[in-house]
């Protein structure tokens, strides 16, 4: 829940116009989701926050201004990074901003662009978060099983209380991609459609399945994907032309793809859960995993 096209614009058309469309589809399939707000977008769109809560969904945090609070895994403008010494204060500011609007303190988090870090994870746990979903498996080439991170290295298992829910990727793709972004599951639902994405999820669920039959995938989308986005924007200092993957199929095609995907997965008897609900049930889920 951020500004359009991942903060490359200052507009909130996705939050304002895309969210009601998403809610309608989720309602029709009886699926609950987590909406991760930047503090600014929560403050600017309190009515949207309340619509989400009234439908029984979770409201989480996505930093204050969509700033980068961790290690970059691909190139972005350098001015958007927060120093390690500033991370806790910035996350506290975002948490309190969302709490004031939502009336409930967020306990789920995702770092913008999946740029996470050990400093970020420690700060989140200190602020009372119970689950984070910032680990970019496509970059590290790791499996995507949930884990408790280490205070020494968030990419390794440890004994922290917070749960890490990694973002899954296509294990079978992108062998020749040096930046590895082509392996990420986003934005494949929008670019390749529901049938392709449903098949990807089925294949990756099978790859992640334990002997007990448990497997989990974390799927993420943006509200601006459900509104037609521009191919370029002009500012006082420049004109930005977006690569096609950022705007292609935004709007009705993505709405249709989400509707079809949820129907297909419900037909497969997949259980959908918010981040908060999954984290609260993880102990019993993990208890049946392989040792």
* pLDDT tens per residue across span 20-70: 999 999 999 999 999 999 999 999 999 999 999 999 999 999 999 999 998
Q: Which domain holds residue 75?
A: 4-285
Residue 102 lies inside a defined structural domain of this protein: yes
Residue 291 lies inside a defined structural domain of this protein: no
User: Which pLDDT score is estimated for 210?
Assistant: 76
Closest CA to 248 of 189, 201, 196: 189
Give the best-scoring range by mean pLDDT among 4-13, 168-177, 185-194, 279-288.
Answer: 185-194
Residue 190 lies inside a defined structural domain of this protein: yes
Residue 255 lies inside a defined structural domain of this protein: yes
Residue 124 lies inside a defined structural domain of this protein: yes
Segment 159-169 shows an average pLDDT of 95
Domain CATH code at residue 152? 3.20.20.370
Tally the domains of the chain: 1
How confident is the prediction for the chain on average, in pLDDT? Answer: 92
Radius of gyration of the chain (CA): 18
Report the C-alpha gap between 116 and 128 in whole angstroms: 17
For the cut 70, the answer to whether the pLDDT of residue 14 exceeds it is yes
Residue 36 lies inside a defined structural domain of this protein: yes
Residues with Cβ < 8 Å from 280, sequence gap 6 or more?
130
Residue 245 lies inside a defined structural domain of this protein: yes
- pTM beyond 0.85: the answer is yes
Report the C-alpha gap between 170 and 168 in whole angstroms: 7
Residue 290 lies inside a defined structural domain of this protein: no
């Amino acid at each position: 829940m951020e500004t359009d096209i991942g903060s490359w614009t200052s507009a909130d058309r996705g939050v304002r116009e895309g969210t009601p469309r998403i809610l309608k589809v989720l309602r029709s399939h009886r699926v609950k989701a987590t909406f991760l707000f930047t503090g600014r977008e929560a403050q600017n769109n309190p009515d949207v926050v309340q619509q989400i809560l009234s439908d029984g969904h979770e409201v989480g945090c996505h930093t204050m201004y969509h700033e980068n609070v961790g290690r970059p895994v691909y190139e972005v403008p350098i001015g958007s990074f927060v120093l390690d010494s500033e991370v806790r204060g910035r996350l506290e500011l975002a948490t309190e901003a969302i709490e004031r609007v939502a009336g409930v303190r967020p306990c789920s988090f995702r770092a913008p662009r999946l740029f996470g870090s050990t400093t970020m994870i420690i700060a989140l746990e200190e602020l009372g978060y119970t689950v984070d979903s910032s680990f970019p498996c496509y970059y590290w080439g790791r499996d995507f099983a949930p884990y408790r991170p280490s205070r020494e290295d968030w990419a390794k298992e440890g004994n922290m209380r917070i749960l890490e829910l990694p973002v899954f990727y296509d294990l079978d793709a992108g062998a020749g991609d040096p930046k590895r972004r082509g392996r990420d599951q986003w934005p494949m639902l929008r670019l390749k459609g529901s049938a392709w994405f449903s098949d990807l999820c089925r294949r990756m669920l099978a790859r992640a399945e334990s002997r007990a039959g448990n497997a989990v995938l974390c799927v993420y989308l943006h509200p601006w994907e459900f509104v037609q986005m521009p191919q370029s924007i002009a500012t006082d200092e420049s004109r930005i032309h977006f690569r096609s993957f950022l705007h292609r199929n935004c709007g009705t095609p993505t709405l249709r793809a989400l509707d079809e995907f949820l129907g297909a997965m419900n037909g497969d008897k997949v259980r959908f859960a918010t981040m908060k609900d999954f984290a609260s049930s993880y102990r019993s889920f993990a208890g049946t995993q392989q040792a």
